[in-house]
Structure 1
């Protein structure tokens, strides 16, 4: 099957967009994980303070 240039270009563009999205997703996940850890830390600190 012979690919037309436009089809190939579209495929490459989609692939690049997917890779870029995946990279952004990884960055966001890392940032979110940090936020969650911080939230958990502070909420546990609050609970400890309430218990005392």
Structure 2
């Protein structure tokens, strides 16, 4: 895990934190392929390389 050092202290983001914020499930089968790119673009506005 990465620790983010902020002026007010340190913070660690977990997969559960990201799941809660984005509303995405983190259990079940892994999804790969074009659907991942479409989901990234929809949620983040950008597709990673």
More strand by share: 2
TM-score by length of 2: 0.25
Q: Which has the larger radius of gyration?
A: 1
More helix by share: 1
